[in-house]
Chains A and B, each alone.
Chain A
């Protein structure tokens, strides 16, 4: 049976909740590739993915769907096909677009949860703004080198606009993205999403900081 190995942490009724959840993943590179894959494998059956980019050589070290065969191909088209290979019945919408002021915000309509997997501050703050407008919880994640952060941003809390106020770029511009950090942080985001749907205690309006080098994990911001 599909997803049967997930049934140790949820019952049939709870699995139905995931099947009915409509998720929007913005960015399907480092974090987003793992997020999209895990969403399908946890049982989510309706996913919209957004990205304007194509895979290139520099993505091969860490992006789940970057392979020698997908270089120069549209990320959303590649990821769409990969997700359909996992679940052919998936309801998938691929949006080849940047998340900026010109983005068609109607893609946020009817969405139950949004995943922030973009790689720049401007888009992260915009996603938070759109999630507040459409009253959607946002699963935030960010990575740089050995480090990551994640949390669930509830509509109106404006946590990201506070954390990134007057900032143009983060430390990833120096520390970059090694092989393992996106997969770890992405699946911690999925874990928080699962807890949130199952109404367990999750990182709601809290930011968890992760230091994989020195094994430091602490909540660094809460509202």
Chain B
């Protein structure tokens, strides 16, 4: 099982938390595409406590039991 936590505006793509069955070789990109989240709406991705930007994280393979956090960009002032 993979637990995906969505934050602020990206919650419109699945609520606060979505559970996925684990499959061999599944990547962050697979999850993001399955949830139909446009890449421009993601700023930070955390996978099992490792945080980085989408270009670094999207092709990471997710292990069974992983926790994935997805954050959108925020720029209001």
Q: Which B positions have Cβ atoms within 8 angstroms of A?
A: 7-9, 16, 39-41, 43-44, 46, 51-53, 55, 69, 71-77
Contacts and interface: CB of A to CB of B under 8 A. Distances in A.
A43 interface: no
- Please indicate which of the listed interface residues B16, B40, B51, B55 has the most CB atoms of chain A within 10 Å of its own CB: B51
Given A165-B53, A175-B8, A209-B7, A170 B40 contact: no
Contacts of B44: 163, 207, 220-221
Contacts of A119: 75-77
Contacts of A31: 77
**Main SS at interface, chain B:** mixed
Interface string A152-196: 000000000011111111111011110000100000000000000
B53 A170 contact: no
- Please indicate which of the listed interface residues A27, A146, A172 has the most CB atoms of chain B within 10 Å of its own CB: A172
Interface of A: 27, 29-32, 116-121, 124, 141-149, 162-172, 174-177, 182, 207, 209, 211, 214, 216, 220-222
B40 A149 contact: no
A185 B68 CA distance: 26
A170 B10 CA distance: 11
A118 B76 CA distance: 7
A148 B73 contact: no
A106 to B, nearest CB: 23
